[in-house]
Structure 1
Amino acid sequence: MSLVTALIYRRRLPVVGRLVQELLALYGMEVPAAVEIGPGLTVYHRGFGTVLHPYVTLGAHVTLYNGVTIGRADPWVPQEESGMERIVVEDDVCLCAGAKVVCKEGVLTIGRGTIVGANAVLTQSTGPGEIWAGVPARRVGHRRATAVVPAARR
């Protein structure tokens, strides 16, 4: 487990949580304590520039590269008035460098095993095992069934 990943998992500790948040900020990461994170998170390149909204849920074995942003598509609207409820990133998802996942209304779900390509801007939910790329992101492929390993087999 990398130092950054270890810090992310410790950001909720009662005594040192605030210090951990500041250490993550030195790496250019913003991961609020409210973000729910499953086991096996992998963060590459120290996650420089990664920002997660508090209403984000990351499943098991999610991979984040540097510059990933997961948040609201309407930041100018007060949080109480925003239609965004939550962004759910299911198990085994890979968000490549610079990927942006933004939600304006309801719950946006990234399906299990999905890959969001570098610098893609995803504004809609995806199915399992899909590959998304572009601005705005569109489905460009589908992962082979063998590429997504069930969590029970690990």
Structure 2
Amino acid sequence: MFRSIGNEISAVFGRDPAVRSRLEVALCYPGFHAILFYRASNWLWRRNWKLLGRFVSHLGRFFSGIEIHPGATIGKEFFIDHGMGVVIGETADVGNHVTLYHGVTLGGTTWNKGKRHPTLGDNVVVGAGAKILGPVTIGEGAAVGSNAVVVKDVPPGATVVGIPARVVGRAQPSHDDSHFAAYGATTPDMPDPVSKAINGLLEHIAKLDTRLAELESSDPEASDSAAPVNDDHADQADKRADC
């Protein structure tokens, strides 16, 4: 048990540059406190002491601001940074070396008693405010950007952002903390899928304008004959407006 606690403390180093000592983690990190309460409540839950497990979980929520259902499955070296507002549901399955930031929800979307919460593979990073909803799978080494809403499976090594979340990058899953993607963002110039779509439309419009200009220059009579038609439409529109 003590070795497991030591591993949880060690997980902070390499994922939080602000950490200074193991004692600081033990005393001042609410994410670490929440994990301790979860380990105890899960131990009780698996031995069918459901009510007592829920009570210990409730105490953990009271002291840390983090709600982890005792029925959830969480691997080793799990790290919650800042922590406030994190919610992890009963059937959530979290792998090893996973990192969550504040405001993350691993939530269910159905009243069914079976599997209804997400599954996170090893080395997944979920940014602040992200919501992962339903029995979706986040592949190993994937990164979920801050405030993303994930309702579909995410491939291993992918980075997703937006509402709903879209893949904006892919990388090979890495176990090296030097490649740790804080808040789920791997580079400062990560492309925005919405901006990319808008830019594509603007480029298409520019090409259409160029093509139209070429057609008009090659057939000036067609251009001149089209002008009165446009004027007629304008006159008709003015008459309707006066009515």
Fold agreement, TM-score > 0.5 = yes
Render the CA deviation track for 1:91-118: whole Å, top value 9, x for unaligned.
0000111010012xxx411000000000
Q: CA RMSD in A?
A: 2.2
Matched to 1:69, the amino acid is T
Aligned counterpart, 1:6: 36
Q: What's the CA shift string for 1:99-141, capped at 9, x where partnerless?
A: 10012xxx41100000000000000001110000011110011
Normalised by the length of structure 2, the TM-score is: 0.52
Report what 1:48 is aligned to: 84
Corresponding position: 1:149 with 2:186: no
| Structure with higher strand content | 1
- 2:121 counterpart of 1:90: yes
Q: Counterpart in 2 of 1:124? A: 152
**Within 2, Cα distance between the matches of 1:138 and 1:127?**
11
Mark the structure with the bigger radius of gyration: 2
Equivalent in the alignment of 1:79: 112
User: Tell me, what secondary structure is at the counterpart of 1:79?
Assistant: coil
Same amino acid, percent of matched pairs: 32
Q: Which structure's residues are more often helix, by fraction?
A: 2
Which has the higher relative contact order, 1 or 2, with Cα contacts under 8 A spaced 6 or more apart?
A: 1
Aligned pair count?
Answer: 139
Unaligned runs of 5+ in 1: none
Residue type of the partner of 2:38?
I
TM-score (norm 1): 0.80
Task: Tell me the residue number matched to 1:28.
Answer: 65
Paired residue for 1:99, among 113, 123, 130? Answer: 130
| Residues 102 and 86 (structure 1), Cα distance of their counterparts in 2 relative to 1, 3 Å cut | closer
Alpha carbons of structure 1 residues 24 and 115: separation in structure 2 relative to 1, 3 Å: same
1:135 matches 2:163: yes
* Structure 1 residue ranges (4+ consecutive) displaced by more than 4 angstroms after TM superposition: none
Q: Which amino acid aligns with 1:100?
A: K
Which stretch shows the higher mean deviation, 9-18 or 132-141? 9-18
Q: 1:85: Cα distance to partner?
A: 4.2
Q: Would the alpha carbon gap of residues 22 and 85 (structure 1) be closer, same or farther in structure 2, given more than 3 Å must change?
A: closer
SS at match of 2:60: helix
Q: Which moved more, 1:8-17 or 1:36-45?
A: 8-17
1:109 aligned onto 2:133: no
> What SS does the corresponding residue of 2:146 show, helix, strand or coil?
coil
* 1:89 Cα deviation from its structure 2 partner: 0.5
